[in-house]
Structure 1
Amino acid sequence: MLLVVSLILPAAGMAAAAERNNLDAGAVIQDLVARGDATMDGYAPDQGVEAMDAFSGLYFDVFEGSGLETAVGMKDPGLKTRVESLFGAVIGLAGNGAAAPETAGAWSELRTALTEDVAPLFDQKAVGFGGIVLQSFLILVREGFEAMLVVMALAAYLRRSSAGAGMSALYVGIALALLASVLTAYGLNILFQASGAAREALEGVTMLVASAVLLYVSQWLLAKRQADKWQAYIRKKVDSALSGGQLWALGLAVFLAVYREGAETILFFYALAGQAQDAALPMLLGASGAVAVLVAVFLLMRMASLQLPLPIFFSVTAALLFYLAFSFAGTGVLELQEAGWVAITPVIGVPRLTWLGVYPTLETLLAQSLVLLPLALTFAWVWRRQSFKAV
């Protein structure tokens, strides 16, 4: 229930401000389309920088500044990320002085996403009591599930490795993450109006740090997946590991996972609170239901993890953390590209897979290649050791 209180109270407290900034999504989309069309009509490769600045302004000042980005993320986070990636493609092509047909094709894809995918999300009328309950429930389940997976995996690891010793590091990480989430959400709304390059940069840096920590922990667990190695590890090293160099990594991994989702969830609740008067009660009901579901899933998954054979448990846990590290790396670089911190070099022919964090830019693909490298080296090392044993 601490999570519910941490998320609901800031949103409810800022509801009055939200009500003064009701979003007219249709008008914002029309503005984006009209200004984007005008920019493309005057586009020339030798004036690509001007077009890049114009599309960047559309993203920061209109799509994000109007609150449309947060509203889309609240309803469909996958679509939000896809639209951000499409903006990045247009900005990157224009900045690199790409040929007019190529840049026009990227703008056409973005234009279609805005008019055919984003616009229908806002066709319905004002959200009622039941709608707010459902939306707050879905927001917290969706955002909390990813953080819960990390907490569950590492908590199960500690219980299987040391009968729960070291759990305090996870508790401290969660508590600090919730506090940091509340402070960050307040800061972004008060100082940056929850928009602009500062928010994108913060999200990007957080995701990249989380990717590095999760990659480190996943590689460490992967190296322990063989039963004989694990039993030796238990006998000789677990106490020193839990009191020294490994415990901080577990606590930091939990902190980053909860912090990343917590701050974004509060911002989504802030936007939801502005859709109706007296939204606190339905939001509380929806979020409480979501917490109940997450706790139930957590307990079921923890029970299942404790029944798995050690090699399978460590392999599954390492794979889960590696998947999150891989996805965070791509999406983190995408956020930094939107903030203008990283260049955008579009790559033709690469699919856009938001669920995997894969985006068609050279920079995001390079970041994910760096994540794949340790995995490849680990498998090569394991294969070589097994080959020597077979000889």
Structure 2
Amino acid sequence: MKKLVILCSLLLFLLSPMQLSAVQAEEDYGELFISVGDAMMKTKAKDWKAVETLIGQLNDDWKQVDPGKSKEAEKVDKALSKANKVLGKHEKESMLEALSEVSHALIAFEKEQNPVDEKQQRLEVKTAFMPILADLKTVIEKEDGEAAYAQYQTFLAAWNRKESIVREQSIPYYGQIETQMGFLRIALLQDEKNFDQIKGIYNKLESAVTGFAAGKELKAENNNYSLQTLVDLLGKADQSIDDNKPEEAVSVLQEFLTVWPSVEGDVRTRNGSLYTKLESDIPVIAGKLSSSDTNVVKEQQKKIKEYKQAVDLLQEKKNYTMWDAALIMLREGLEALLVVAALIAFLRKANASQHQRWIWLGALAGVVMSIVAAVFINIAFSAAAAGANREAIEGVTGILAVVMMIGVGVWLHQKSNMKAWNRYIEKQMGTALSTGSIISMAFVSFLSIFREGAETIIFYMGMAPSISTGKLLAGIVLALVILTVFAFLFIRYSAKIAVGPFFKIATILIYFLAFKILGVSIHALQLTGHIGTTQIQSLPIISWLGFYPTWETIAPQAVLLAIIAVTAIWIQKKEKAA
């Protein structure tokens, strides 16, 4: 009993109000910062649908936080309110400014909730770095390259342990230190070392460390760097080597290292292993480019090409255009109109024109049910796609759309023959006329329209995450305008419509979109790590076609092409036999 009392007393002491406040103070707001960061990246890409999802997730996560009586929390509320108001305007600069305010408010709130002694942390950095830098300076002044590189490695190990302190307190100092470290590594790895240059780099490195340790303010440069900036720089370095100017390539890679601290977060969140490789390998590559051995230079160029392609593959999937969106609605809408026009033409030939209104009522019911289905699916999809699994769900949805497209394409291909189309219409309407059922006729029209509407919804679900809301709506509106014109022509001249060419063109379009959506969807799963990435260096990225040079995307697309080829041969043989 005594032991139990002592144990309980000890537990009460450990869970005293002071201890509880310390535990509570260690709140993790990482998910909030991730949502803000992702929203900023999507805003830069003008992917407004994704931004809306991320802002919604941010609002939900913030509601789960219990800030108590906090002035900083009130600032977060105001910043979020502003972001929500700006969201509907789809203005890139205004949205970035609002998200920046949210980010700064969250940082202030986190510091309030998780107070840290920044002065003590800077002292830790100074204590850890300055002795190593002093030793590094000594060996540099002696112009001992081997010893200098060994001492640099010692500093790098210390930096890896303390860099988070610098990054959290000052992004500008973090960027300066990272950049000068990269420059120093390049200079120390060169065959013929320029110690005057090395001393200059060292002085800038030491100045950045001492400036941070002293708490001096350093303003950040407002550069609009992105993953594309890295791709462009690596491409420029590659071209310099092709032009037999490796020293120019070294300068470009130094510029890469200057840009890197501003963009490394984008790389780290998408591909951790690539982030590690780029951070460690780029200085090494730049150092080895000074070699007089042509084989060494060519080997480094190969690595530059690989990294360029790897970074390019990380970029957003903004590969659908307004025309892609229009083609979906146009193809499905034209097919639906053609079915309705053919039904009306059949009624006229059968001297049953008085029943036309039931076809129109059935078509209207099909449109209404399609809208209801669209709303239901959109709500379900938005709820499921929130958070970390969003891109994975986008990829799976896209693949589902492709499977449906294959079925639609085969159906279209079969109906491209005029006799086959006439048999199809007669079969559909024959039952209705024989029974004399008005409901049956309306149901035929309803099913034709609703089927097209349901397919359109699935197709747009697979496309929507990778196209801006503006382009999606513009494509739909454009298609509706064209459909209005065709509706008049179809109804007026329904008996004279040449369905063969129409279905052949529609078949080609649907197969093209299936190929593209398949590539984009698998690429989305690669970005989330659900599918591996095996690059093919000799092939380019063709984003408008959904072509990504990896075995994981090309193999399924090759299977799709094989299915299309086999289908075409099978239908051709079937038509000959008929």
After TM superposition, the score normalised by the length of structure 1 is 0.57
- Equivalent residues, number: 291
Amino acid at match of 1:15: K
- 1:258 and 2:460 are equivalent in the alignment: yes
Q: Of the candidates 212, 218, 223, which is equivalent to residue 409 of structure 2?
A: 218
Residue 369 (structure 2) aligns with: 172
**Equivalent residues of 2:542, 2:548 under 8 A apart:** yes
1:182-218 per-residue CA deviation (whole Å, 9 max, x = no partner) reads 6655775xx52xxx5x222122111111111111011
C-alpha distance in structure 2 between counterparts of 1:112 and 1:217, whole Å: 33
Aligned pairs for 1:126-145 within 5 A: 141=322, 144-145=325-326
1:351 alignment partner, SS class: coil
Range 255-264 or range 328-337, more displaced: 255-264
C-alpha distance in structure 1 between counterparts of 2:463 and 2:222, whole Å: 25
Residue 135 (structure 1) aligns with: none
Q: Of the candidates 15, 23, 32, which is equivalent to residue 85 of structure 2?
A: 15
Q: Of the candidates 108, 113, 124, which is equivalent to residue 308 of structure 2?
A: 108
Q: CA deviation at 1:295?
A: 3.0
Provide closer, same or farther for how the CA distance between residues 244 and 167 of structure 1 changes in structure 2, counting only shifts above 3 A. Answer: closer
C-alpha distance in structure 2 between counterparts of 1:90 and 1:113, whole Å: 11
Residue 339 (structure 2) aligns with: 158
- 1:365 and 2:443 are equivalent in the alignment: no
Residue 123 (structure 1) aligns with: none
**Equivalent residues of 2:416, 2:499 under 8 A apart:** yes
**Equivalent residues of 1:326, 1:368 under 8 A apart:** yes
Aligned pairs for 1:1-391 within 5 A: 14-16=84-86, 18=95, 19-22=97-100, 26=223, 29=226, 33=230, 62=266, 101-108=301-308, 141=322, 144-163=325-344, 168-169=365-366, 171-178=368-375, 180-181=377-378, 184=381, 191-192=386-387, 196=388, 198-237=389-428, 250-262=452-464, 293-302=478-487, 308-385=497-574
**Gapped regions of structure 1 (runs ≥ 5):** 1-6, 38-57, 66-83, 119-138, 270-285
Range 290-299 or range 365-374, more displaced: 290-299
The structure showing larger relative contact order (alpha-carbon pairs under 8 Å, at least 6 residues apart) is: 1
Range 308-317 or range 291-300, more displaced: 291-300
**Equivalent residues of 2:406, 2:514 under 8 A apart:** yes
Amino acid at match of 1:210: A
Q: CA deviation at 1:379?
A: 1.9
Range 237-246 or range 292-301, more displaced: 237-246
1:236-270 per-residue CA deviation (whole Å, 9 max, x = no partner) reads 246699599988753431111233455666x757x
C-alpha distance in structure 1 between counterparts of 2:425 and 2:228, whole Å: 62
Provide closer, same or farther for how the CA distance between residues 179 and 228 of structure 1 changes in structure 2, counting only shifts above 3 A. Answer: same
Whose radius of gyration is greater, 1 or 2? 2
C-alpha distance in structure 1 between counterparts of 2:568 and 2:334, whole Å: 22
1:21 alignment partner, SS class: helix
C-alpha distance in structure 2 between counterparts of 1:268 and 1:358, whole Å: 23
C-alpha distance in structure 1 between counterparts of 2:504 and 2:405, whole Å: 14
Range 230-239 or range 368-377, more displaced: 230-239
Range 338-347 or range 178-187, more displaced: 178-187
1:162-186 per-residue CA deviation (whole Å, 9 max, x = no partner) reads 4465664454334433554466557
Residue 283 (structure 1) aligns with: none
C-alpha distance in structure 2 between counterparts of 1:259 and 1:60, whole Å: 31
C-alpha RMSD over aligned residues:
5.0
Q: CA deviation at 1:60?
A: 10
1:347 alignment partner, SS class: coil
Provide closer, same or farther for how the CA distance between residues 22 and 169 of structure 1 changes in structure 2, counting only shifts above 3 A. Answer: farther
Instruction: Report sequence identity in percent.
Output: 18
C-alpha distance in structure 2 between counterparts of 1:60 and 1:143, whole Å: 32
Residue 273 (structure 1) aligns with: none
C-alpha distance in structure 1 between counterparts of 2:507 and 2:562, whole Å: 15
**Gapped regions of structure 2 (runs ≥ 5):** 1-48, 56-81, 88-94, 102-220, 235-261, 279-298, 345-358, 432-439
Range 322-331 or range 15-24, more displaced: 15-24
